[in-house]
Structure formats: C-alpha cells, structure tokens
C-alpha cells in the first residue's frame, strides 16, 4: 500500500495540502497519508504524527523559546518517516521546519515534492542552495516564481494559485447578515489579525484602537472571523467592551460581504483579492525581529497583492507605520470614497487573473505526484 508523508506547518499550507490529499485519495483510494497535519489535513484523512498547530510561530526571535518543543516534534516526525518509509513526501511552505525535514528525508531516500515555494526571492535567498539540494520538484503558486527558481537551478513547475478556483462565499450577503444579526444599513468592516495567536495578539490593540476611531464618525459593524488555529473563544476576552465581535470561521463570507477589510499581510490578502474586497494591509513583528530581518528583505512591497501588481494597489502599514490613527485613516478613505473602492476593486480583479494557471492547481499538483510515484516504481531497486 503506497504511503505519503505530508507536512504543513501553518494554516494556509494545511488547507492547500488537504486539497491535494483529497485529489490524490480520489485518484488512488489505496494511498495512505501521515505526517504533520492541521485541522484540514486531519479531516482529509491524514494520520497526525504531529499537529500543525504546535508549530505555528512567526518571527526570527519569537521562535527561540519554542525551539525545544519544535525540535521534539521534528524528531518524532523523522522517526515516523524512518519507520514507515513513505514512497513520497509532500512538504508545504514553512521552510524553517520543512527544509530540515526535506534534508532528513533525502538521507532516507524519500523523494521530496515541495508545494508552495518558500519566499526566498523576498528574503534569506541563501536558502535556495538548500532547496536545490533537497527538493526533487518545487510547485510554485505565483507566476513570477517559476523564472526565479529556474534561474537558480531548482526543478520547478508553476501550477497556478490553488485559491483561484476555490475562494468563494458560502452565503449571500443577505443570508450572512441575517445569520449573524447584522444591521443591513451599516457598512461592514472585517478584521483579519492573522491566523496565529501570537501575531493576532500583536495586532489586536491597534485594530481595536482603529475600530474605536472609525466608530466615532459613522455607524459601522466590525466582525473578526477567527481562524481554526485561534478560535473565537480565544478572542472574546480581548474584544470585550470593544466594537469588534468575533465569530467562528466564515472568513470568506465575512470578506466577500464587507465594505473594507483590515487584513494582516499574508495569505488572507490573496483571499481578499480573489473575493474583490477593498482592503488595508498591515503587519508587525517584535522590535528585535524587525531590526534583524528588515535588512534581509529584497522586495519593494510587503503585500503579495502589491508584489504581483508591481505597484502599490493596497495600503501597507508595516511595523511603526501600523498605528490606530493610520489604520483608521486608510480605512476611512475607502469607506467614504466609492470611487477609490471601485478603482481598487478593478485593480484587484486584474491581479487575480494573473494567478490562474493552466487548469486546476491541485489537479496539476496531483499530476506531478503521480509522475514522481511512477518514477519511484520504475527506479532500479539498487538505486532506491
């Protein structure tokens, strides 16, 4: 019975890898999966040797006191790989963890397919040498990545962005507003502080401050759709007495039906773009991480939306620029000016078209997995 190790170290990677696992299971019902699994991968039938939630840490400095715990889980995953001997490994994003996993798997003779390219084109480009050594096939989801990795000798295929055929609301605006008892005559602002608890806590004070400032001048509704790795209960004590209300999940509906989103830089900005949602983006790390990391960044923008557009389409309030006043001012410009909102929406629609690959991204990813599994079957036993 063929076995595949899957490892996803964060929420977005967990979602993408689960989509691929389901496509592979549909094609090959005899496949079994195990590895580092979050909620989506567990629901897709992956045996969780370790859990994605236990690795969700952001920042160069923030990760330091988590290293012993992460190291124990790393060793547990590699021990399972050595015992179960998978026919293939699918590693998704999270390069600090998964590139180390890839190196160990290569020593075990396990072929490695890497889904979602680490953003080495943006910073820490030295990691591309490691990727060239330990990855058999890299699947990238942004159009400009294929040329970069090809130039650096990494076997790469652009599959298109998996979200282009998947991001859509489940409910109409009317049904969503009715479900959550939202006043239909008030603009909705969706607050997206990040999928990890640590980053959400860093962002919440300024987001709460911005919500209070915005509420002084106009009646608004604020919703925070909690990610699976946080959960609504985590936010409730922090949001008590504030204009912001947390709900469990439903992020795509909350983005699709809002007037403006306040979105932490990351995958959620791509989701908002695909839903044609006007947004303000932001991000903050600890001061020490910022001091160490800023000189390593090699790109003109922080937001993926602006990077793909190659121009400033959405506001970026990064580190010291992220204040309640600036968040509120950027959001107010969009709320109060329908022309600005429509211009941004037209730009977002054009950018979204660039993300679509030739066909469904997960079907193309599954084709690459099939090719690698077939190649492993035909490899002479002495070389395996």
Q: How far is CA 232 from the centre of its chain?
A: 19
The three-class DSSP label of residue 353 is helix
Q: Dihedral sign for Cα 257, 227, 89, 100, please.
A: positive
**Could you tell me the domains of the chain?**
3-160+357-383 (3.40.50.2000), 173-355 (3.40.50.2000)
Using a 10 angstrom Cβ sphere, with 0-12 exposed, 13-18 middle and 19 or more buried, the burial of residue 1 is exposed
pLDDT of residue 65: 55
Rounded Cα–Cα distance for residues 74 and 381 (Å): 29
pLDDT of residue 194: 92
- Tens of pLDDT along the chain (384 residues) come to 789 999 998 888 899 999 999 999 999 999 999 999 999 999 999 999 999 887 765 444 445 556 778 889 999 999 999 999 999 999 998 888 999 999 999 999 999 999 998 887 766 777 889 999 999 999 999 888 899 999 999 999 999 998 998 899 999 999 999 999 999 999 999 999 998 888 999 999 999 999 999 999 899 999 999 988 789 999 999 999 999 999 998 999 999 999 999 999 888 999 999 999 999 999 998 777 767 766 666 667 778 899 888 889 999 999 999 999 999 999 999 999 999 999 999 999 999 988 877 788 999 999 999 999 998 776 555 444
Give 323's contacts (C-beta < 8 A, 6+ positions apart).
Answer: 206, 209, 317
pLDDT of residue 377: 72
The stretches of the chain forming alpha helices (DSSP H) are 11-27, 39-43, 67-84, 95-107, 127-134, 145-151, 173-179, 197-217, 232-239, 251-256, 267-274, 287-293, 304-309, 324-336, 338-355, 361-378
CA neighbours within 13 Å on the CB side: how many for 288? 7
């Amino acid at each position: 019975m063929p076995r595949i190790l899957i490892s996803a170290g964060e929420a977005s990677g967990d979602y993408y890898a689960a989509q691929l696992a389901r496509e592979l299971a549909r094609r090959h019902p005899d496949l079994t999966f195990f590895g580092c699994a979050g909620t989506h991968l567990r629901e897709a039938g992956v045996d969780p040797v370790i859990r994605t939630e236990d690795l969700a840490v952001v920042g160069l400095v923030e990760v330091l006191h988590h290293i012993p715990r992460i190291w124990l889980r790393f060793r547990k995953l590699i021990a399972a790989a050595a015992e179960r001997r998978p026919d293939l490994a699918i590693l998704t994003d999270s390069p600090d963890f998964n590139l180390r996993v890839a190196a160990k798997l290569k020593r075990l003779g396990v072929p490695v397919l890497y889904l979602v390219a680490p953003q080495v084109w943006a910073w820490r480009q030295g990691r591309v040498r490691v990727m060239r050594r330990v990855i058999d096939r890299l699947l990238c989801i942004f159009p400009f990545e294929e040329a970069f990795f090809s130039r650096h000798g990494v076997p790469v295929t652009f599959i298109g962005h998996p979200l282009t055929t998947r991001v859509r609301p489940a409910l109409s605006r009317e049904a969503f507003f009715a479900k959550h008892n939202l006043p239909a005559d008030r603009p909705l602002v969706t607050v997206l502080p990040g999928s990890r608890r640590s980053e959400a806590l860093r962002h919440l004070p300024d987001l709460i401050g911005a919500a209070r400032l915005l509420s002084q001048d106009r009646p608004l509704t604020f919703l925070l759709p909690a990610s699976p790795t946080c959960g609504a209960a985590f936010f409730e004590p922090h949001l008590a007495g504030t204009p912001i209300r947390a709900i469990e999940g439903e992020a795509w509906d909350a983005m699709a039906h809002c007037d403006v989103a306040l979105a932490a830089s990351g995958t959620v900005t791509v989701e908002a773009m695909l839903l044609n949602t006007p947004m303000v983006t932001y991000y903050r790390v600890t001061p020490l991480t910022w001091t160490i990391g800023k000189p390593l960044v090699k790109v003109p923008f922080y937001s993926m939306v602006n990077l793909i557009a190659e121009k400033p389409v959405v506001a970026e309030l990064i580190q010291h620029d992220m204040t309640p006043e600036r968040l509120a001012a950027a959001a107010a410009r969009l709320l109060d000016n329908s022309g600005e909102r429509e211009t941004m929406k037209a730009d977002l629609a054009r950018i979204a078209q660039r993300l679509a690959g030739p066909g469904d991204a997960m079907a193309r990813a599954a084709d690459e997995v099939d090719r690698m599994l077939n190649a492993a079957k035909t490899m002479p036993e002495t070389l395996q």
